[in-house]
């Protein structure tokens, strides 16, 4: 029935998934919650494969009318010096600011001083995809039903914009990469302090999904998020890059487009980025593809000898094994960017904390239904609401070892090659 847009949905998980308790006292588990949250995947039959689904995303409109107010933060760690912008969802914004994306204005100092709250509304932290921002339609389809809900079911939300994205002017030579967890970490710590009673949840899209899983893995049992959703995560960046280079469409359409977007981004912030003496802008201006950008920019910036070394170190495939909060991952098997061969099927079978849902159709951050709605928003919203309002989430348990015991050799998924 796939030719009618009826996609097949498959769940990959460990033999025993995380046990959970509902607020009514009944027992459940992570797999049951994810399955209950996932409606049938019925997509537009005219968009019959991942390429057509993905290419429709270039047709832009305003999407759901989400309003934001922006706060620019200075990073507290000198190793990651520079500023980054966080857009907070508000009910209405003031007069449009032409220097910012649509329906976005800045907080005044007085407004931001009074933002702290003791309310217990759930709050969603959002990470967007490569070179995107809070204005992206795919994330606003998820935000709209959450922030527009009535009464006690209403959510708060904010979007962490990657440095230089969404019309934020960077203030240092540090951009971001697929391991750029530092701005997310500072923001989540600030949210925990500013809104002490709000349960925090995360959602990431594409590259933002990779960053989010890396962050959760780095935090391990100390993660301040209660649960998270990741959509169209590329997971194994080296496998994905090689797959893009293997075909004409992958190389000349997807990789070339993403490479061009990143070139424009770095040119837009040339006055700051040029202070990085490790970068050769003559080479950067001659690149065509995303892997060439990573070779000439990410490699020298972060000290990786090759783009392959960067991809292997920044991939979130191993990180999922260090995550200790419930994670719902959603990917399309026909995604031409976050390719099927890069998905962590075996890793998902080794952790009780994560469930991978794959649909046979859907493309990259697409999943277009008849009428233009995005299917992925439905399981995302359902899962988040279930975790926020139906499930009792306690702090994850960590195993304690006797100090007299000799530790056995083990695999440390977060033993990164790159460090300061």
Q: What is the DSSP letter of 331?
A: E
CA 172 to centroid of chain Cα atoms: 23
Q: Distance between CA 226 and CA 18 in Å, rounded? A: 13
CA 173 to centroid of chain Cα atoms: 23
Instruction: Answer yes or no: 168 catalytic.
Output: no
Taking a C-beta distance cutoff of 8 angstroms, is the pair 75, 186 a contact? yes
Q: Distance between CA 260 and CA 265 in Å, rounded? A: 9
Joined together, the tokens standing for residue 28 give 């459940």
Find the catalytic residue in 51, 168, 364, 376.
364
Q: Distance between CA 362 and CA 308 in Å, rounded? A: 28
Residue the block writes with tokens 């993403």: 258
Handedness of CA 200, 203, 207, 212 (dihedral sign): positive
SS (H, E, C) 61-124: CCCCCCEEEEEEEECCCHHHCCEEEEEEEECCCCCCCCCCCCCEEECCHHHHHCCCCCCCCCEE
Find the catalytic residue in 131, 206, 255, 315.
206
Helix (H) or strand (E) holding 227: strand 225-231
Find the catalytic residue in 168, 335, 366, 376.
335
* Longest Cα separation, the chain: 65
Q: Distance between CA 342 and CA 359 in Å, rounded? A: 15
Instruction: Answer yes or no: 67 catalytic.
Output: no
Instruction: Answer yes or no: 241 catalytic.
Output: no
- Where in the sequence numbering do the catalytic residues fall? 206, 335, 364
């Amino acid at each position: 029935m796939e030719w009618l847009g009826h996609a097949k949905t498959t769940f990959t998980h460990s033999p025993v998934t995380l046990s959970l308790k509902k607020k009514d006292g009944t027992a459940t588990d992570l797999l049951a919650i994810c399955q209950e949250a996932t409606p049938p995947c019925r997509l537009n039959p005219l968009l019959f494969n991942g390429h057509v689904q993905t290419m429709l995303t270039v047709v832009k409109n305003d999407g759901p009318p989400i309003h934001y107010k922006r706060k620019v933060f200075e990073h507290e760690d000198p190793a990651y010096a520079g500023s980054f912008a966080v857009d907070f969802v508000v009910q209405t914004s003031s007069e449009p600011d032409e220097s910012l994306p649509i329906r976005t204005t800045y907080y005044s100092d007085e407004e931001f001083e009074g933002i702290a709250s003791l309310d217990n509304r759930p709050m969603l932290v959002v990470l967007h995809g490569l070179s995107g921002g809070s204005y992206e339609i795919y994330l606003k389809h998820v935000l709209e039903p959450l922030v527009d809900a009535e009464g006690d079911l209403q959510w708060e939300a904010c979007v962490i914009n990657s440095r230089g994205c969404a019309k934020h002017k960077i203030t240092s030579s540090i951009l971001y990469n697929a391991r750029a967890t530092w701005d997310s970490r500072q923001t989540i710590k600030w949210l925990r302090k500013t809104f002490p009673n709000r349960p925090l949840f995360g959602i990431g899209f594409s590259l933002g999904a990779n960053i989010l899983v890396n962050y959760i893995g780095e935090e391990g049992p100390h993660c301040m998020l209660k649960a998270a959703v990741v959509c169209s995560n590329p997971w194994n960046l080296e496998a994905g890059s090689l797959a893009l280079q293997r075909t004409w469409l992958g190389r000349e359409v997807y990789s070339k487009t993403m490479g061009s977007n990143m070139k424009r981004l770095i040119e837009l912030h040339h006055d700051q980025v040029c202070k990085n003496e490790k970068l050769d802008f003559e080479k950067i201006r001659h690149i065509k593809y995303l892997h060439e950008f990573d070779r000439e920019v990410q490699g020298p910036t972060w000290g990786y000898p090759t783009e392959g070394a960067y991809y292997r170190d920044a991939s979130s495939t191993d990180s999922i094994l260090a995550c200790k909060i419930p994670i719902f991952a959603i990917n399309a098997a026909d995604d031409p960017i976050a390719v099927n061969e890069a998905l962590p099927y075996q890793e998902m079978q080794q952790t009780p904390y994560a469930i991978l849902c794959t649909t046979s159709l859907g493309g990259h951050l697409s999943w277009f239904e008849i009428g233009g709605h995005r299917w992925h928003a439905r399981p995302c919203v359902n899962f988040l609401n279930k975790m926020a309002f139906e499930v009792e989430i306690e702090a994850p348990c960590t195993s304690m070892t006797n100090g007299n015991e000799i530790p056995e050799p083990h695999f440390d998924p977060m033993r990164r090659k790159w460090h300061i």
